[in-house]
Amino acid sequence: MSVRTIGIIGGGQLGRMLAMAAARLNLRTVILEPQADCPAAQVANAQIVAAYDDPDALAELARVSDVVTYEFENVPVSAAEALAKTVPVYPPPRALEVSQDRLVEKTFIRDCGIVTADFAAVDSQADLEAALDRFGGVGVLKTRRLGYDGKGQRMFRSPAESREGTFEALGGVPLILESLVPFEREISIIAARDRDGTIACYDPAENVHLNGILHTSILPAGVNEATADQARKAARAILDQLGYVGVIGVEFFVLQDGGLVANEIAPRVHNSGHWTEAACIVSQFEQHIRAVAGHVLGDPRRHSDCVMQNLIGDDINDVPAWLARPGVLVHLYGKTEARPGRKMGHITQILD
Ligand code: AMP
């Protein structure tokens, strides 16, 4: 059956950009999101205003959609699995399961033959002491679930740092301790796999974070071809292992010798791939829509060097200046209130 309507769980800016890409291919979109008039619904064909795990809303989404996808990884796995009984769900719910829990994720990535930081499960203060001792007193402690943009983390940079009460301070929830990776830079790769198993990779982007939030993606990344190839190989292994359909983002640390250490995967279009809308023939958003709708993948080639910069909080005030700059594509998300740390839009500057 050919796809006419795509259901999207989640109504943020990623859903918005997916809906816009879908419209260009004559595909309709319906957004499931509890917040009315959300960024995605402003440009989609319809919105179901309900919680992501509301059974009636999910049944309605399945009824009106030929395929369902999602724009964030914290969609309840049970909701995705229930939906998948009546309508194709891409990426597969297994991808959600893997990316929702950092311990499951790191184990999965390592089992794909990809290098990760050393890691240990931490379920008590005693676990933390033992794991820190094993890692020489340094490491990054993270919540296993629901952490993003550096939230729910504690960095131990020196063995002298106090560990007292840390487990409780992070909420007494299951944690993971990772060894501290002495990275030179951070890169990510955006890749897509279609229903036939064909894979297309974008060029790796170099990412700069500020206060734990992505600030800038730079193309080309300052890595050599061997490192870029390692990133592509890793993405391919992950996509194949998951029997994946759609776009994925994989983040890596780059070591001084060019070696890669995988940090995390995002089973969706990714902030570090926004530049593709300005500098590639087919953007990550169209690529995802093509994959989930059962179309052939598009050409991921990059035709220009570029820099993508997020507009966060008050950065929205710079929009008039960006609009006046030659070579700059401005993309705003339809959010009315510019709270600190809130992603309001992004710009991509083409460099020549
Ligand atoms: P994450 O939430 O895993 O994306 O981590 C947020 C940021 O913390 C990363 O972009 C890195 O800058 C830093 N970070 C995370 N894990 C590690 C690690 N194992 N070693 C060194 N830095 C890390």
Q: In the CATH hierarchy, which top-level class contains the domain 185-350?
A: alpha beta
Residue 216 — very low, low, confident or very high, per pLDDT cuts 50/70/90?
very high
Q: Is 181 within any annotated ligand binding site?
A: yes
pLDDT at residue 352, rounded to an integer: 78
- Burial class (CB within 10 angstroms; exposed 0-12, middle 13-18, buried 19+) of 320: exposed
More confident residue, 20 or 168: 20
- Percentage of the chain modeled with pLDDT above 70: 98
Domain boundaries, the chain: 5-89, 118-178, 185-350
- Predicted confidence at residue 346, as pLDDT, reads 98
Ligand 1 atom nearest residue 153's Cα: 2
d(CA 160, CA 12): 42
For position 148, what pLDDT does the model report? 59
For the segment 126-155, what is each residue's pLDDT rounded down to a tens digit?
A: 999 999 999 999 999 999 998 655 667 899
Average pLDDT over residues 74-93: 96
Q: Give the per-residue pLDDT at 151.
A: 65
Per-residue pLDDT averaged across 215-229, rounded? Answer: 98
pLDDT reading at 1 higher than 70: no
Greatest Cα pair distance, the chain, in angstroms, is 62
Fold: same for 5-89 and 185-350: no
Give the residue carrying structure tokens 């200046």: 321
Say how many Å lie between the CA of residue 172 and the centre of ligand 1: 21
* Ligand 1 atom at minimum distance from 151 CA: 2
d(CA 67, CA 89): 6
Which range (54-63, 157-166, 232-241, 322-331) has the least confidence? 157-166
Q: List strands edge to edge, sheet with 119-122.
A: 119-122, 175-178, 139-143, 153-156
Q: Is the pTM of this model over 0.75?
A: yes
Classify domain 5-89 at the CATH topology level.
Rossmann fold (3.40.50)
How many CB atoms neighbour CB 330 within 10 A? 15
Percent of the chain topping pLDDT 90: 93
Residue 71 in marked binding region: no
102 annotated as ligand-binding: yes
Q: Do residues 270 and 217 lie in contact, with contact meaning Cβ atoms separated by under 8 Å?
A: no
The domain made up of 118-178 has a fold known as Dna Ligase; domain 1 (3.30.1490)
For ligand 1, pick from 109, 140, 208 the residue to mutate: most ligand atoms within 8 Å of CB: 140
Q: Is the model's pLDDT at 80 over the cut of 70?
A: yes
Instruction: Ligand 1 pocket test: pick from 263, 264, 310 the residue with the most ligand atoms within 8 Å of its Cβ.
Output: 263
Q: Give residue-wise pLDDT tens across range 44-75.
A: 999 999 999 999 999 999 999 999 999 999 99
Q: How far is the CA of 341 from the centre of ligand 1 (A)?
A: 18
First-to-last alpha carbon distance for the chain, in angstroms, is: 44
The pLDDT assigned to 316 comes to 97
Q: What is the pLDDT of residue 98?
A: 97
- Give per-residue pLDDT as tens, 297-347: 999 999 999 999 999 999 999 999 999 999 999 999 999 999 999 999 999
- 4-40: pLDDT as tens digits: 999 999 999 999 999 999 999 999 999 999 999 999 9
Average model confidence (pLDDT) across the chain: 96
Beta bridge partner(s), residue 24 = none
CA distances, 37 to each of 16, 24, 43, 341 (Å):
11, 21, 10, 21
Residues present in the chain in total? 352
Q: What is the pLDDT of residue 212?
A: 85
Task: Give me the half-sphere count of Cα atoms (radius 13 Å) on the Cβ side of residue 81.
Answer: 7
pLDDT at 153: 87
pLDDT at 171 over 90: no
